[in-house]
Protein backbone atom coordinates (compact mmCIF):
# COMPACT_ATOMS: atom_id res chain seq x y z
CA UNK A 1 0.00 0.00 0.00
CA UNK A 2 1.29 3.44 -0.97
CA UNK A 3 0.77 5.06 2.46
CA UNK A 4 2.37 8.45 2.92
CA UNK A 5 3.91 9.62 6.20
CA UNK A 6 1.59 10.63 9.01
CA UNK A 7 1.96 14.32 8.21
CA UNK A 8 -0.73 14.06 5.53
CA UNK A 9 -3.21 12.39 7.86
CA UNK A 10 -6.15 14.56 8.65
CA UNK A 11 -5.65 14.86 12.41
CA UNK A 12 -1.85 14.78 12.64
CA UNK A 13 -0.65 17.42 10.23
CA UNK A 14 1.37 20.26 11.77
CA UNK A 15 3.05 23.06 9.92
CA UNK A 16 6.46 22.32 11.45
CA UNK A 17 6.26 18.63 10.44
CA UNK A 18 5.18 19.54 6.93
CA UNK A 19 8.02 22.03 6.46
CA UNK A 20 10.54 19.54 7.83
CA UNK A 21 9.35 16.85 5.44
CA UNK A 22 9.45 19.21 2.46
CA UNK A 23 12.92 20.41 3.47
CA UNK A 24 14.17 16.81 3.47
CA UNK A 25 12.82 16.31 -0.04
CA UNK A 26 14.34 19.59 -1.28
CA UNK A 27 17.81 18.75 0.10
CA UNK A 28 17.84 15.70 -2.14
CA UNK A 29 17.22 17.77 -5.28
CA UNK A 30 20.32 18.95 -7.11
CA UNK A 31 18.75 22.10 -8.55
CA UNK A 32 19.04 25.88 -8.34
CA UNK A 33 17.42 27.79 -5.49
CA UNK A 34 14.68 29.11 -7.75
CA UNK A 35 13.73 25.54 -8.69
CA UNK A 36 13.78 24.52 -5.02
CA UNK A 37 11.23 27.21 -4.29
CA UNK A 38 9.06 25.97 -7.15
CA UNK A 39 9.24 22.41 -5.78
CA UNK A 40 8.49 23.60 -2.24
CA UNK A 41 5.39 25.46 -3.38
CA UNK A 42 4.26 22.57 -5.59
CA UNK A 43 4.74 19.87 -2.96
CA UNK A 44 3.00 21.91 -0.28
CA UNK A 45 0.02 22.38 -2.58
CA UNK A 46 -0.13 18.68 -3.41
CA UNK A 47 0.11 17.51 0.23
CA UNK A 48 -2.51 20.04 1.29
CA UNK A 49 -4.80 18.81 -1.49
CA UNK A 50 -4.39 15.23 -0.26
CA UNK A 51 -5.08 16.31 3.31
CA UNK A 52 -8.25 18.18 2.34
CA UNK A 53 -9.59 14.92 0.89
CA UNK A 54 -8.37 12.70 3.69
CA UNK A 55 -6.18 10.72 1.28
CA UNK A 56 -3.28 8.85 2.89
CA UNK A 57 -2.89 6.08 0.30
CA UNK A 58 -2.90 7.81 -3.10
CA UNK A 59 -3.06 5.78 -6.29
CA UNK A 60 -2.16 6.66 -9.86
CA UNK A 61 -5.82 7.62 -10.37
CA UNK A 62 -5.48 10.07 -7.44
CA UNK A 63 -2.62 11.80 -9.23
CA UNK A 64 -4.61 12.06 -12.46
CA UNK A 65 -7.47 13.53 -10.46
CA UNK A 66 -5.06 16.06 -8.95
CA UNK A 67 -3.94 17.07 -12.43
CA UNK A 68 -7.60 17.57 -13.41
CA UNK A 69 -8.12 19.66 -10.27
CA UNK A 70 -5.23 21.92 -11.27
CA UNK A 71 -6.75 22.44 -14.70
CA UNK A 72 -10.19 23.02 -13.19
CA UNK A 73 -8.65 25.71 -10.98
CA UNK A 74 -7.90 27.66 -14.15
CA UNK A 75 -4.12 27.21 -14.12
CA UNK A 76 -2.27 27.52 -17.42
CA UNK A 77 -0.90 24.36 -19.07
CA UNK A 78 2.60 25.56 -18.17
CA UNK A 79 1.67 25.87 -14.47
CA UNK A 80 -0.10 22.50 -14.44
CA UNK A 81 2.97 20.86 -16.00
CA UNK A 82 5.21 22.47 -13.38
CA UNK A 83 3.11 21.04 -10.54
CA UNK A 84 3.05 17.61 -12.22
CA UNK A 85 6.86 17.64 -12.50
CA UNK A 86 7.09 18.31 -8.75
CA UNK A 87 4.78 15.38 -8.00
CA UNK A 88 6.81 13.07 -10.25
CA UNK A 89 10.06 14.06 -8.54
CA UNK A 90 8.43 13.62 -5.13
CA UNK A 91 7.36 10.04 -5.82
CA UNK A 92 10.75 9.23 -7.35
CA UNK A 93 12.29 10.43 -4.07
CA UNK A 94 9.80 8.38 -2.01
CA UNK A 95 10.67 5.32 -4.06
CA UNK A 96 14.36 5.83 -3.35
CA UNK A 97 14.18 6.83 0.32
CA UNK A 98 11.03 5.09 1.57
CA UNK A 99 10.68 2.15 -0.80
CA UNK A 100 7.19 3.23 -1.91
CA UNK A 101 5.91 2.44 -5.43
CA UNK A 102 6.47 5.25 -7.91
CA UNK A 103 2.85 5.76 -8.99
CA UNK A 104 3.74 9.02 -10.75
CA UNK A 105 6.11 7.50 -13.30
CA UNK A 106 5.06 8.43 -16.83
CA UNK A 107 2.32 10.91 -15.86
CA UNK A 108 2.50 13.76 -18.33
CA UNK A 109 1.92 17.47 -17.88
CA UNK A 110 -0.77 19.47 -19.65
CA UNK A 111 -0.70 20.01 -23.38
CA UNK A 112 0.36 23.48 -24.44
CA UNK A 113 -0.94 23.50 -28.01
CA UNK A 114 -4.08 25.41 -28.97
CA UNK A 115 -5.28 22.89 -31.50
CA UNK A 116 -6.07 19.20 -31.31
CA UNK A 117 -4.11 16.15 -32.35
CA UNK A 118 -7.25 14.46 -33.68
CA UNK A 119 -9.66 15.62 -36.37
CA UNK A 120 -13.45 15.39 -36.37
CA UNK A 121 -15.38 13.48 -38.99
CA UNK A 122 -17.59 15.40 -41.38
CA UNK A 123 -21.36 14.86 -41.31
CA UNK A 124 -21.29 12.83 -44.57
CA UNK A 125 -18.51 10.67 -43.15
CA UNK A 126 -20.52 9.97 -39.99
CA UNK A 127 -23.58 9.03 -42.03
CA UNK A 128 -21.50 6.74 -44.25
CA UNK A 129 -19.84 5.16 -41.21
CA UNK A 130 -23.17 4.35 -39.55
CA UNK A 131 -24.76 3.13 -42.80
CA UNK A 132 -21.84 0.76 -43.46
CA UNK A 133 -22.43 -1.33 -40.34
CA UNK A 134 -24.20 -4.68 -40.85
CA UNK A 135 -27.00 -4.84 -38.29
CA UNK A 136 -27.96 -8.47 -38.83
CA UNK A 137 -25.60 -9.80 -36.15
CA UNK A 138 -24.78 -8.88 -32.56
CA UNK A 139 -21.34 -7.55 -33.55
CA UNK A 140 -22.82 -4.96 -35.87
CA UNK A 141 -25.57 -4.03 -33.40
CA UNK A 142 -22.99 -3.43 -30.68
CA UNK A 143 -20.70 -1.35 -32.88
CA UNK A 144 -23.61 0.70 -34.24
CA UNK A 145 -24.89 1.43 -30.72
CA UNK A 146 -21.38 2.34 -29.53
CA UNK A 147 -20.50 4.63 -32.44
CA UNK A 148 -23.91 6.32 -32.39
CA UNK A 149 -23.53 6.97 -28.66
CA UNK A 150 -20.04 8.45 -29.03
CA UNK A 151 -20.92 10.69 -31.99
CA UNK A 152 -24.16 12.08 -30.54
CA UNK A 153 -23.19 12.58 -26.89
CA UNK A 154 -19.47 13.35 -27.15
CA UNK A 155 -18.66 11.18 -24.13
CA UNK A 156 -15.09 9.96 -23.82
CA UNK A 157 -14.20 6.41 -24.79
CA UNK A 158 -13.29 5.54 -21.18
CA UNK A 159 -16.69 6.84 -20.05
CA UNK A 160 -18.46 4.52 -22.50
CA UNK A 161 -16.38 1.60 -21.27
CA UNK A 162 -17.14 2.33 -17.60
CA UNK A 163 -20.90 2.54 -18.24
CA UNK A 164 -23.16 -0.19 -16.88
CA UNK A 165 -26.67 -1.21 -17.92
CA UNK A 166 -28.08 0.36 -14.73
CA UNK A 167 -26.62 3.73 -15.69
CA UNK A 168 -29.36 4.03 -18.34
CA UNK A 169 -32.27 5.78 -16.63
CA UNK A 170 -35.26 8.04 -17.24
CA UNK A 171 -34.99 11.50 -15.71
CA UNK A 172 -37.80 14.01 -16.19
CA UNK A 173 -39.05 12.23 -19.30
CA UNK A 174 -35.59 12.09 -20.86
CA UNK A 175 -33.38 9.05 -21.39
CA UNK A 176 -30.09 9.66 -19.58
CA UNK A 177 -26.82 7.78 -19.40
CA UNK A 178 -25.09 8.65 -16.13
CA UNK A 179 -21.36 8.62 -16.66
CA UNK A 180 -18.22 8.79 -14.56
CA UNK A 181 -16.48 11.85 -15.91
CA UNK A 182 -12.77 12.56 -15.97
CA UNK A 183 -11.32 12.93 -12.49
CA UNK A 184 -14.54 11.84 -10.78
CA UNK A 185 -15.23 8.93 -8.44
CA UNK A 186 -18.98 8.66 -9.03
CA UNK A 187 -21.28 8.52 -12.02
CA UNK A 188 -22.89 11.90 -11.57
CA UNK A 189 -22.67 13.48 -15.02
CA UNK A 190 -25.63 13.08 -17.42
CA UNK A 191 -25.48 12.43 -21.15
CA UNK A 192 -28.87 12.96 -22.82
CA UNK A 193 -29.85 10.20 -25.23
CA UNK A 194 -32.10 11.28 -28.14
CA UNK A 195 -34.40 8.67 -29.68
CA UNK A 196 -31.92 8.20 -32.55
CA UNK A 197 -29.24 7.23 -30.02
CA UNK A 198 -31.48 5.17 -27.79
CA UNK A 199 -32.93 2.98 -30.57
CA UNK A 200 -29.70 1.20 -31.63
CA UNK A 201 -28.69 0.93 -27.97
CA UNK A 202 -31.92 -0.87 -27.04
CA UNK A 203 -31.72 -3.07 -30.13
CA UNK A 204 -28.22 -4.14 -29.10
CA UNK A 205 -29.24 -4.85 -25.50
CA UNK A 206 -32.30 -6.81 -26.65
CA UNK A 207 -30.17 -8.96 -28.95
CA UNK A 208 -27.65 -9.50 -26.15
CA UNK A 209 -30.28 -10.97 -23.87
CA UNK A 210 -30.99 -10.56 -20.14
CA UNK A 211 -28.23 -8.82 -18.20
CA UNK A 212 -27.67 -7.89 -14.58
CA UNK A 213 -28.00 -4.21 -13.67
CA UNK A 214 -24.31 -3.93 -12.92
CA UNK A 215 -23.31 -5.63 -16.18
CA UNK A 216 -21.17 -3.58 -18.60
CA UNK A 217 -23.16 -1.60 -21.14
CA UNK A 218 -20.75 -2.72 -23.88
CA UNK A 219 -19.24 -6.18 -23.74
CA UNK A 220 -16.54 -8.06 -25.57
CA UNK A 221 -17.44 -10.74 -28.11
CA UNK A 222 -14.00 -12.36 -28.18
CA UNK A 223 -13.51 -16.01 -27.33
CA UNK A 224 -11.23 -15.13 -24.43
CA UNK A 225 -13.24 -12.31 -22.86
CA UNK A 226 -16.74 -12.89 -24.21
CA UNK A 227 -19.30 -11.13 -22.01
CA UNK A 228 -16.63 -9.17 -20.17
CA UNK A 229 -16.28 -5.41 -20.21
CA UNK A 230 -14.95 -3.94 -23.42
CA UNK A 231 -11.49 -2.43 -22.90
CA UNK A 232 -10.02 0.74 -24.38
CA UNK A 233 -7.68 -1.06 -26.76
CA UNK A 234 -10.52 -3.09 -28.26
CA UNK A 235 -12.74 -0.02 -28.56
CA UNK A 236 -10.03 1.88 -30.42
CA UNK A 237 -9.52 -1.08 -32.74
CA UNK A 238 -13.27 -1.32 -33.44
CA UNK A 239 -13.47 2.33 -34.48
CA UNK A 240 -10.28 2.14 -36.54
CA UNK A 241 -11.46 -0.94 -38.44
CA UNK A 242 -14.90 0.58 -39.08
CA UNK A 243 -13.25 3.72 -40.47
CA UNK A 244 -10.92 1.71 -42.69
CA UNK A 245 -13.94 -0.18 -44.04
CA UNK A 246 -15.22 3.05 -45.61
CA UNK A 247 -11.80 4.08 -46.91
CA UNK A 248 -10.70 6.34 -44.06
CA UNK A 249 -7.26 5.55 -42.66
CA UNK A 250 -5.55 8.46 -40.94
CA UNK A 251 -3.59 8.78 -37.71
CA UNK A 252 -5.65 11.91 -37.02
CA UNK A 253 -8.97 10.05 -37.19
CA UNK A 254 -9.40 7.70 -34.25
CA UNK A 255 -11.91 6.73 -31.58
CA UNK A 256 -11.28 10.05 -29.81
CA UNK A 257 -12.21 11.81 -33.05
CA UNK A 258 -15.83 10.86 -32.37
CA UNK A 259 -15.83 13.16 -29.33
CA UNK A 260 -14.43 15.98 -31.46
CA UNK A 261 -17.07 15.16 -34.06
CA UNK A 262 -19.94 15.51 -31.58
CA UNK A 263 -18.72 18.89 -30.31
CA UNK A 264 -18.03 20.20 -33.81
CA UNK A 265 -21.40 19.06 -35.19
CA UNK A 266 -23.22 20.60 -32.22
CA UNK A 267 -21.67 24.01 -33.01
CA UNK A 268 -22.29 23.68 -36.74
CA UNK A 269 -25.88 22.71 -35.93
CA UNK A 270 -26.47 25.95 -34.05
CA UNK A 271 -25.58 25.15 -30.43
CA UNK A 272 -24.19 28.06 -28.42
CA UNK A 273 -20.69 27.95 -26.98
CA UNK A 274 -22.21 27.39 -23.53
CA UNK A 275 -24.35 24.49 -24.81
CA UNK A 276 -21.36 22.90 -26.51
CA UNK A 277 -19.34 23.33 -23.31
CA UNK A 278 -22.09 21.54 -21.37
CA UNK A 279 -22.09 18.73 -23.93
CA UNK A 280 -18.32 18.32 -23.73
CA UNK A 281 -18.19 19.01 -19.98
CA UNK A 282 -15.16 21.24 -20.49
CA UNK A 283 -14.09 22.83 -17.21
CA UNK A 284 -12.72 25.83 -19.11
CA UNK A 285 -14.82 27.41 -21.87
CA UNK A 286 -11.62 28.36 -23.69
CA UNK A 287 -11.25 24.70 -24.64
CA UNK A 288 -14.68 24.79 -26.30
CA UNK A 289 -13.83 28.08 -28.01
CA UNK A 290 -11.02 26.31 -29.90
CA UNK A 291 -13.68 24.32 -31.76
CA UNK A 292 -15.61 27.47 -32.59
CA UNK A 293 -12.51 29.31 -33.77
CA UNK A 294 -11.53 26.41 -36.02
CA UNK A 295 -15.01 26.27 -37.58
CA UNK A 296 -15.09 30.03 -38.17
CA UNK A 297 -11.55 30.01 -39.55
CA UNK A 298 -12.46 27.40 -42.18
CA UNK A 299 -15.83 28.95 -43.01
CA UNK A 300 -14.42 32.44 -43.48
CA UNK A 301 -11.17 31.33 -45.15
CA UNK A 302 -9.64 34.27 -47.07
CA UNK A 303 -7.66 31.71 -49.10
CA UNK A 304 -10.75 31.29 -51.30
CA UNK A 305 -10.89 35.02 -51.93
CA UNK A 306 -7.22 35.09 -52.96
CA UNK A 307 -7.63 32.05 -55.24
CA UNK A 308 -10.67 33.60 -56.92
CA UNK A 309 -8.80 36.86 -57.53
CA UNK A 310 -5.79 35.04 -59.00
CA UNK A 311 -7.93 32.92 -61.30
CA UNK A 312 -10.08 35.84 -62.36
CA UNK A 313 -13.16 33.87 -61.32
CA UNK A 314 -14.83 36.59 -59.29
CA UNK A 315 -18.05 34.57 -59.21
CA UNK A 316 -16.39 32.37 -56.58
CA UNK A 317 -15.70 35.26 -54.22
CA UNK A 318 -17.71 34.59 -51.09
CA UNK A 319 -18.22 30.93 -51.98
CA UNK A 320 -17.79 28.98 -48.72
CA UNK A 321 -18.21 25.48 -50.14
CA UNK A 322 -15.72 22.93 -48.94
CA UNK A 323 -12.96 21.49 -51.06
CA UNK A 324 -13.19 17.73 -50.60
CA UNK A 325 -10.06 15.62 -50.80
CA UNK A 326 -10.36 12.28 -52.61
CA UNK A 327 -10.46 9.14 -50.53
CA UNK A 328 -7.33 7.04 -50.39
CA UNK A 329 -7.84 3.31 -50.17
CA UNK A 330 -5.29 1.53 -48.04
CA UNK A 331 -4.68 -2.13 -47.41
CA UNK A 332 -6.07 -3.39 -44.13
CA UNK A 333 -3.25 -4.76 -41.95
Portion of the chain with pLDDT greater than 90, in percent: 44
Distance CA 235, CA 242 (A): 11
- Paired sense of beta strands 174-179 and 189-192, if any: antiparallel
Asked which of 15-24, 58-67, 98-107, 152-161 is least confident by mean pLDDT, the reply is 15-24
Of the candidates 6, 41, 40, 13, the one whose C-alpha atom is nearest the C-alpha of residue 25 is: 40
- Asked if residue 152 has pLDDT above 70, the reply is yes
Q: Is 176 helix (H, G, I), strand (E, B) or coil?
A: strand
- The pLDDT-based confidence of 257 (bands split at 50, 70, 90) is very high
Collect contacts of 40-45 with beta carbons under 8 A, ≥24 apart.
Answer: 42/82, 42/83, 42/85, 42/86, 42/87, 43/86, 43/87, 43/90, 44/18, 45/83
What domain range is 11 assigned to? 6-98
- What's the distance, CA 179 to chain centroid? 13
Does some domain include residue 159?
A: yes
pTM for the predicted model, two decimal places = 0.60
Domains of the chain: total: 2
Start-to-end CA span in the chain (Å): 42
Q: Is 52 left (phi over 0), alpha (psi -120 to 50) or beta?
A: alpha
Classified as helix, coil or strand, 165 is helix
* Residue 24's CATH number: 1.10.150
Considering the domain architecture, whether residues 191 and 272 belong to the same structural domain is answered as yes
- Domain for residue 111, yes or no? no
pLDDT digits (tens, 9 = 90+) for 7-59: 444 333 455 567 787 888 898 988 888 788 889 899 989 988 888 888 888 89
- Going by C-alpha positions, the residue among 48, 2, 3 that lies closest to residue 22 is 48
In angstroms, the CA 257 to CA 156 distance is 10
Give the number of other CB atoms < 10 A from CB of residue 120. 24
**Confidence category of residue 68, pLDDT binned at 50, 70, 90:** confident
Shared domain for 84 and 141, answered yes or no, is: no
Q: How confident is the model at residue 137 (pLDDT cuts 50, 70, 90)?
A: very high
- Are residue 74 and residue 135 in the same domain, yes or no? no
At 283 the pLDDT is 84
Q: Is residue 39 domain-shared with residue 175, that is, in the same domain? A: no
pLDDT of residue 84 exceeding 70, the answer is yes
Q: Do 142 and 272 belong to one domain? A: yes
Report yes or no on 117 lying in a domain. Answer: no
Secondary structure of residue 56 in the 3-state scheme: coil
Q: Do 164 and 272 fall within a single domain?
A: yes
pLDDT of residue 13: 42
3-class SS of residue 156: coil
At 332, the pLDDT band (50, 70, 90 cuts) reads very low
> Considering the domain boundaries, does residue 76 fall inside one?
yes
Amino acid sequence: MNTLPALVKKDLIREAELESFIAEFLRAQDVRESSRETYRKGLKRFLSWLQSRGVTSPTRETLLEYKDALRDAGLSPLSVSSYVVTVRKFFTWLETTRGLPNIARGIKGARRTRGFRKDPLTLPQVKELLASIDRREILGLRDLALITLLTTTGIRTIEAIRANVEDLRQEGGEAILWIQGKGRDTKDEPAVLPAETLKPLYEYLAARGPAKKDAPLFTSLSNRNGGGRLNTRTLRRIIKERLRAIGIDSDRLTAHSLRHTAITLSLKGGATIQEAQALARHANINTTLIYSHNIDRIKQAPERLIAAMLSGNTDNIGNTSNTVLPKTKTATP
